[in-house]
Chain A
Amino acid sequence: MTMIFIFLGLSLLLSYVLSRKQPTLGAYFTIIASLAGLISVYLLRNSVGVTESFYYLNFQITTIGWYFAMILLTVYFTSAFFNPFWMDELIYPAAYNSLYLLSLVGTIGLFFAQDLMTLFICWETAVWSSMLIVQQGKSRQAAWVYFVISAIGSMSTLFAVLLTMYLSGTSEITGALTYFTTAPVAGALVFGAFILAGLTKIGIFPFHVWLPLAHGSAPHTFSPVLSGGLVKMGAYIAYLSVAVFPAYQVFGDSLKIQGVPLPIYGLMILGAASIVYGTLRAIQQEDAKRLLAYSSVANGGYILIGILMMDQMAFAGGLMHLLNHAVASAAAFLAIAAVAKRTGTTKMSELGGIIHRMPITYTVYLIAIISMAGIPPMGGFVSKWLIFQGLSEKGLILLATAAAFGSIGSYMYVFRPLSAVFLGQLAPKYEHIKEANPVMVTAMLILTAMSLLLGVLPNLVLKTIAKIQIELGINPIIVNGTATLTENGSVDMLQVFTVFGFGFLLILILFMVLPKSRRVGLMDTYTSAEFIHTPELLHYGHSFYAPFERLYEKWPSVLPLYKRMSMKLSELGEWAESFFFHPDPNRAVLWIVVVAIVVIIGGAQ
Chain B
Amino acid sequence: MWSPVWLIVLPLLMAFISVVIKKQQYLLLNLSILLNLAVLYLAPQGMVIIGGFRPPFGISLNFDRYAFISLLLIQVLMLFATFIAGPLAKKYGTVLLVLLAGINGMLLTNDLFNLFVMIEVVSIASFIISTSNGKFTHTFHYLILASVGGVFFLLGAVMVYAYTGTLVVQGLFATLGQLPNAISLIPMMLIILGLAVELKLMPVGSWAKNIYGNSNVLTGPIFAAVLAPAFGFVFGRMMGEVVVLNPITGYTLLFMAIATFVLGELAAYRQKDLLKTLAFSSIAQSGLAIILFTLNLPFAAILLLINNALAKSILFWVATGVSTAYETSSMKGLRGVFYNHRILGITFSIASLSLVGIPLFLGFYAKVTAVMAIFTTGLIWIPVVILATAIIEGAYMMKWLLQLWSPAKEGHLASTEEVPEKREALNMTQIVAVCLVALILFVFGLVPQRVGRVLSVASQAEISQVETVAEGGGQ
Chain A positions near chain B (C-beta within 8 angstroms): 56, 89-92, 117, 120-121, 124-125, 128, 131-132, 135-141, 143-144, 147-148, 151-152, 155-156, 158-159, 162-163, 165-166, 217, 569-574, 576-577, 580-585, 587-589, 591-592, 594-596, 598-600, 602-605
Q: Are B372 and A595 in contact (CB under 8 A)?
A: no
Q: Are B267 and A576 in contact (CB under 8 A)?
A: yes
Q: Given known contacts A163-B375, A583-B210, A585-B144, is B413 in contact with A138 (CB within 8 Å)? A: yes
Q: Are B182 and A604 in contact (CB under 8 A)?
A: yes
Q: Given known contacts A91-B406, A159-B383, A595-B252, is B145 in contact with A585 (CB within 8 Å)? A: yes
Q: How far is the CA of A571 from the CA of B383 in the complex (A)?
A: 24
Q: Are B248 and A592 in contact (CB under 8 A)?
A: no
Please tell me which one of the listed residues A141, A158, A588, A602 contacts residue B252 in the complex, with CB atoms under 8 A apart: A602
Given A124-B360, A147-B395, A594-B203, 19 other A-B contacts at CB below 8 A?
A: A56-B449, A91-B416, A138-B413, A139-B410, A140-B402, A158-B368, A163-B380, A217-B411, A570-B269, A576-B266, A577-B209, A581-B205, A583-B141, A587-B206, A592-B152, A595-B252, A596-B193, A603-B181, A603-B182
Mark interface residues in B335-351 (1 if CB within 8 Å of A CB, else 0): 00001000000000000
Q: How far is the CA of A156 from the CA of B387 in the complex (A)?
A: 8
Mark interface residues in B387-403 (1 if CB within 8 Å of A CB, else 0): 11011101100110111
The interface residues of chain A lying within 8 Å CB-to-CB of B219 are none
Q: Give 25 A-B contacts (CB < 8 Å), ordered by A residue.
A: A91-B414, A92-B339, A124-B358, A125-B360, A132-B405, A136-B414, A141-B410, A147-B395, A147-B398, A155-B390, A158-B368, A162-B383, A163-B375, A570-B270, A571-B270, A576-B264, A583-B141, A583-B210, A588-B141, A588-B205, A595-B252, A595-B256, A598-B252, A600-B186, A602-B248
The interface residues of chain A lying within 8 Å CB-to-CB of B190 are 596
The interface residues of chain B lying within 8 Å CB-to-CB of A120 are 359
Q: At the interface, yes or no: B453 with Cβ under 8 Å from chain A?
A: no
Q: At the interface, yes or no: B215 with Cβ under 8 Å from chain A?
A: no
Chain B positions near chain A (C-beta within 8 angstroms): 137-138, 140-141, 144-145, 148-149, 152, 181-182, 185-186, 189-190, 193, 197, 202-210, 246, 248-249, 252, 256, 263-270, 280, 283, 339, 353, 358-360, 364, 367-368, 371-372, 375-376, 380, 383-384, 387-388, 390-392, 394-395, 398-399, 401-403, 405-408, 410-416, 449
Interface centre among A89, A156, A585 (most CB of B within 10 A): A585
Closest chain B residue to A592 by CB distance?
A: B204
The interface residues of chain B lying within 8 Å CB-to-CB of A140 are 402-403, 406, 408, 410
Q: Given known contacts A131-B398, A140-B403, A144-B395, is B206 in contact with A91 (CB within 8 Å)? A: no
The interface residues of chain B lying within 8 Å CB-to-CB of A573 are 263, 265-270
Q: How far is the CA of A587 from the CA of B141 in the complex (A)?
A: 11
Q: How far is the CA of A148 from the CA of B148 in the complex (A)?
A: 41
The interface residues of chain A lying within 8 Å CB-to-CB of B193 are 592, 595-596
Q: Are B359 and A124 in contact (CB under 8 A)?
A: yes
The interface residues of chain B lying within 8 Å CB-to-CB of A574 are 267, 270
Please tell me which one of the listed residues B145, B371, B380 contacts residue A588 in the complex, with CB atoms under 8 A apart: B145
Q: Are B266 and A569 in contact (CB under 8 A)?
A: yes
The interface residues of chain A lying within 8 Å CB-to-CB of B204 are 588, 591-592, 595
Closest chain A residue to B138 by CB distance?
A: A583
The 6 closest A-B pairs by CB, nearest first: A591-B203, A573-B266, A576-B263, A570-B270, A121-B359, A603-B185
Q: Chain A: interface secondary structure?
A: helix
Q: Given known contacts A592-B148, A602-B252, is B412 in contact with A138 (CB within 8 Å)? A: yes
Minimum C-beta distance from A166 to chain B (A):
4
Please tell me which one of the listed residues A91, A125, A592, A603 contacts residue B415 in the complex, with CB atoms under 8 A apart: A91
Q: Are B263 and A155 in contact (CB under 8 A)?
A: no
Q: Are B266 and A599 in contact (CB under 8 A)?
A: no
The interface residues of chain A lying within 8 Å CB-to-CB of B399 are 144
The interface residues of chain B lying within 8 Å CB-to-CB of A91 are 339, 406-408, 413-416
The interface residues of chain A lying within 8 Å CB-to-CB of B411 are 138-139, 217
Please tell me which one of the listed residues B145, B203, B267, B398 contacts residue A595 in the complex, with CB atoms under 8 A apart: B203
Q: Are B189 and A600 in contact (CB under 8 A)?
A: yes
Minimum C-beta distance from B252 to chain A (A):
5
Q: How far is the CA of A22 from the CA of B1 in the complex (A)?
A: 59
Q: Are A580 and B414 in contact (CB under 8 A)?
A: no
Q: Given known contacts A91-B339, A124-B358, A596-B189, is B267 in contact with A577 (CB within 8 Å)? A: yes
Minimum C-beta distance from B470 to chain A (A):
15
The interface residues of chain B lying within 8 Å CB-to-CB of A156 are 387
The interface residues of chain A lying within 8 Å CB-to-CB of B267 are 573-574, 576-577, 581
The interface residues of chain B lying within 8 Å CB-to-CB of A583 are 137-138, 141, 206, 209-210
Q: Given known contacts A135-B406, A581-B205, is B360 in contact with A121 (CB within 8 Å)? A: yes
The interface residues of chain B lying within 8 Å CB-to-CB of A571 are 270
The interface residues of chain B lying within 8 Å CB-to-CB of A605 are 248
Q: Are A599 and B185 in contact (CB under 8 A)?
A: yes
Q: Are B359 and A589 in contact (CB under 8 A)?
A: no
Please tell me which one of the listed residues A162, A580, A592 contacts residue B263 in the complex, with CB atoms under 8 A apart: A580
Q: Are A166 and B406 in contact (CB under 8 A)?
A: no
Please tell me which one of the listed residues A137, A163, A577, A599 contacts residue B248 in the complex, with CB atoms under 8 A apart: A599
Q: Are A144 and B398 in contact (CB under 8 A)?
A: yes
Q: How far is the CA of A587 from the CA of B269 in the complex (A)?
A: 23
Please tell me which one of the listed residues B138, B368, B383, B392 contacts residue A569 in the complex, with CB atoms under 8 A apart: B392
Q: Given known contacts A155-B388, A585-B141, is B248 in contact with A603 (CB within 8 Å)? A: yes
Minimum C-beta distance from A286 to chain B (A):
14
The interface residues of chain A lying within 8 Å CB-to-CB of B203 are 580, 588, 591-592, 594-595
Closest chain A residue to B335 by CB distance?
A: A140
The interface residues of chain B lying within 8 Å CB-to-CB of A572 are 263, 266
Minimum C-beta distance from A197 to chain B (A):
12
Minimum C-beta distance from B413 to chain A (A):
6
Q: Are A166 and B375 in contact (CB under 8 A)?
A: yes
Q: Given known contacts A162-B375, A595-B256, is B270 in contact with A148 (CB within 8 Å)? A: no
Q: Are B269 and A155 in contact (CB under 8 A)?
A: no
Minimum C-beta distance from B75 to chain A (A):
30
Closest chain B residue to A167 by CB distance?
A: B375
The interface residues of chain A lying within 8 Å CB-to-CB of B270 are 569-571, 573-574, 577
The interface residues of chain B lying within 8 Å CB-to-CB of A587 are 206
Q: How far is the CA of A582 from the CA of B414 in the complex (A)?
A: 38
Minimum C-beta distance from A605 to chain B (A):
8
The interface residues of chain A lying within 8 Å CB-to-CB of B205 are 580-581, 588
Q: How far is the CA of A602 from the CA of B247 in the complex (A)?
A: 10
Q: Are B406 and A158 in contact (CB under 8 A)?
A: no
